[in-house]
Amino acid sequence: MTHQELMPFDGIVDQLRHFRDQRRTGTAFIVSDDNRMAQVHMDSGNIVMLLCRGQRGEEAVAAMRTMLRASVRFDDSYVAKQTGTRAAGVNLMDLLNDPAPLGAHVRSAARTGPQPTRPRAAPAAFARDDLLKLERMLAVHIGPMATIVCAEHASEASDLRILVMALAADIPDKKQAADFRLEAGRALGLGAV
């Protein structure tokens, strides 16, 4: 089942609930209107892993809740390897449904005022060949969303080493993430990353 139209976040949650009720196994790929990506890995309808902006679990829920409009695509053929890190008693679907985490965050920010930010280095302009190599290597681990994920992180990273680390953070399996860092480091002449 594929949905390409943009829908409000509540619609995304409804669609995930529908996948749960159907007891689907696979991965829901969610892409927001501003090209942020989330992955919801399901096993027989249960959310076994949730990734968004390099965050996992409850932290990923908070990042997802900032998406105003997004599209969702469910891929039955992309099943994440189980890492033994199930949701540890936390029902991620309940957190997605609950407006409190987002509301509490907004109230807290309003109460404390703007937080000081540390200056970030400007994003680098990467060679197209380097980006293509990274996309191909990343696709082995996260599938066809690699192109979007790579573009998103490339628009924020200040150098290749930081880009490789950010991409590795979006790989659910820790060993695969470490393998990706090693392979990418070698392919780009960075050494150990």
Model confidence pLDDT, tens digit, residues 105-161: 333 333 444 444 444 444 567 888 888 999 999 989 888 888 888 888 888 888 888
Quickly tell me which residue has 């900032």 as its tokens: 66
Backbone dihedral angles phi then psi of residue 51, each to the nearest 5 degrees: -125, 135
Quickly tell me which residue has 């070698």 as its tokens: 186
The lowest-confidence range among 11-15, 51-55, 86-90, 189-193 is 86-90
Is the pLDDT at 38 greater than 50? The verdict is: yes
Element holding 124 (H helix, E strand): none
Q: In Å, what is the CA distance from 97 to each residue of 11, 21, 51, 100? A: 11, 15, 17, 9
pLDDT digits (tens, 9 = 90+) for 147-164: 888 888 888 888 888 889
Contact 74, 27 (CB under 8 A): yes
Quickly tell me which residue has 């293509």 as its tokens: 132
Say whether 75 sits in a helix, a strand or coil. Answer: strand
Note the pTM of the prediction, 2 decimals.
0.53
Parallel/antiparallel/unpaired status of strands 55-56 and 69-75: unpaired
- What are the start-end ranges of the E strands in the chain? 7-8, 26-32, 37-43, 46-52, 55-56, 69-75
